[in-house]
Amino acid sequence: MLITRPVVTRERRWPVELAGFAGASAIAIMVVAHLVSTPRAWIVYYDGDSLVNTLIWKSLVAGQPQHWALSSVLFVPEFALYAALALLGLSVKATLTLNALVNLVGLYAAVRFVSSSTGRGLSWNVAASVGAFGIFGIMAMLDSSSKRESFELPSLMATTTYYSATVVGTLVAIGLVRRLCEQGRPRARRRDVIVLFAVATVSTFTNPIFAAWAVAPLVLLLLVLWGGRIVSVGGLAAAALPLVLGVGAGVALRLPFAALISDSGVNYVEPQRLGGSLSYYGGLIAQRAQTVDGASSLAIDALLIAISVVASLLAVRRRWVAGIIVSSAAWGIPVLVSVGAVLLGTEATRYLEPVFFAPILVLTVLPGLLSPRRLGIGRPLRLAAGITAILACISGGIIGIPRLVTESSSLDPSVQCVDAWVTASGRTGAGQYWTIRAPKAYLADARQLVQVDAALGPYAWLVNRADYTNARVSFLVVDTTRPLKLMGQQAQHTPHTTISCGRYTIVDFHGATLKLGPTRI
């Protein structure tokens, strides 16, 4: 006989849920406040890839024609959220800060959805969800470098473009699969099937990696459980078909937007580079393990994965469907995603984000497996959870909020220097991708800076191609990693003067117009 739901007690729902969201919000405030006080703030506020949604919004507000060159990711949910927050009228940096907080609270909401019936009562489900989110927050706070290609993955959830919507979509899909495989009312099952199909469609449409993060692992898990007679044919069909059909629908919806996609992602797949991929990821993990913070983050993650394996075995032994699905996803998704990334020869650490966010789900099934009340630790745990939540709220309010307000009201001096000069000049300049993105995003009129390659050709990557229409470039913005000598013979041999702006240098040609070369990408 399959055990589908642990025994639960009746509790008043909204006070408990609100307490959970309050605790999660306090944790989110502390996480973001810590991140923006470290060099990791550059990834949140100024990194080239992190500013796509900011630039799309500024382009729309400026009334430009929308002729974007995007990657395989369309950033649809991410941009919708950013746009909604931008309507509040805050500064760019304050909007990015608020976006980071909402992203993290959204992650908690997704974890809470997964845990909605995997514990032994409402309060335990909420406490387990807050605990799981808190562990993720700790791992995020252990990230501190400004390196985009590092194994510091939990903190990417605080950015507007590094797949936050796909993370939430993956967790929601896990929760829906768990619900569909439990015995329930036909009407509820039909609703969940429709929602799962919608989640799979939208997630695949905006980011095809959803198929690798959620669909492939969950379908494989369902097939294994069906083979073991843990999930019925009806449960298999109800959960697997919406996922598979949703992927197909999402891919089909992408076809009309082909003109926006500069790179479909196929170029990232190089199976012949399996050895190089393994060496690359292994090197990043080894590098991460060399610091106390890095080693602690890896140790926490490894412990969660180990607990997930044990929890899966216990859940199978008890024939608890919900516990099996959630705990198996907690370790199975990281393993399958990691193996898949290596086999495909990829070298992008962001593809491995599930290694950190999936394992925290195991904490949501532990109350159902361990039964704190029967172990005699129910009351002490409730007391500890309450005290921790209160302290988190106090710390978030006293320390986190003032720090966020202060950080959001300031701007990197180098970026500020460039933008002040560009605005005063009233002219149009250019720079390479990793150099120009931050000044362009914070500039009052982002059209004054256009993105070029080393040969002064338009570099159409994550940018509006309309920027290049009638662009008359009369100055360049360079930095130490992309100096003037890389910007072509034309720029080097045209009389100019330089203006120092910290990490940037403005090369002014005093009205002389540089000719742009052929477009790349």
pLDDT tens for each residue of 192-205: 999 999 999 999 99
pLDDT at 389: 66
Whether 63 shows a pLDDT value over 90: the answer reads yes
Confidence check: pLDDT of 3 > 80: no
- Please tell me the predicted confidence (pLDDT) of residue 332: 97
pLDDT beyond 70 at 185? no
Which of 19-33, 434-448, 506-520 has the weakest average pLDDT? 506-520
H-type helices in 321-360, by residue range?
Answer: 321-343, 354-357
Give one word for 144, left, alpha or beta, with left for phi > 0 and alpha for psi -120 to 50: alpha
Task: List, for residues 103-116, the tens digit of each pLDDT value.
Answer: 999 999 999 999 97
- Check pLDDT > 60 for residue 121: yes
Is residue 446 within 8 A of residue 464, CB to CB? The reply is no
The answer to whether residue 381 scores a pLDDT higher than 60 is no
Give the span between the Cα atoms of 488 and 494, in whole angstroms.
11
User: Helix or strand or coil: residue 476?
Assistant: strand
Q: Give CA torsion, residues 176, 177, 179, 182, to 10 deg.
A: 170
Q: Check: CB of residue 114 under 8 Å from CB of residue 199.
A: no
Side-chain-facing half-sphere of 24: CA atoms under 13 Å: 27
Q: How far apart are CA 128 and CA 126, in angstroms?
A: 5
- Percent of the chain residues past pLDDT 70, beyond the cut: 90
pLDDT in tens, 331-374: 999 999 999 999 999 889 999 999 999 999 999 998 888 765 55
Q: Which residues contact 318 (CB under 8 A, 6 or more apart)?
A: 3, 369
Mean pLDDT of 49-66: 96
pLDDT digits (tens, 9 = 90+) for 248-275: 999 999 999 998 998 776 667 788 888 9
What does the alpha-carbon distance between residue 362 and residue 225 come to, in Å, rounded to a whole number? 18
Average pLDDT, the chain: 89
The angle subtended at Cα 198 by Cα 194 and Cα 204, nearest 5°, is 145
* Contact in structure between 354 and 331 (CB atoms under 8 Å): no
Q: What's the whole-model pTM score?
A: 0.92
What distance in Å separates the CA atoms of residue 116 and residue 105, rounded to the nearest whole number?
16
Residue 7 confidence (pLDDT): 43
φ, ψ of residue 514 to 5 degrees: the values are -90, 140
**Strand (E) or helix (H) holding 428:** strand 428-431
The answer to whether 284 and 145 have CB atoms below 8 angstroms apart is no
Query: What average pLDDT score do residues 120-137 get?
Result: 86
Q: Write out the H or E segment, with its range, that includes residue 254.
A: helix 233-254
Q: What count of residues does the chain have?
A: 521
Amino acid at 147: K
Which residue type occupies 136? F
* pLDDT per residue as tens digits for the range 289-317: 999 999 999 999 999 999 999 999 999 99
For residue 311, give the nearest of 325, 299, 301 by alpha carbon. Answer: 325
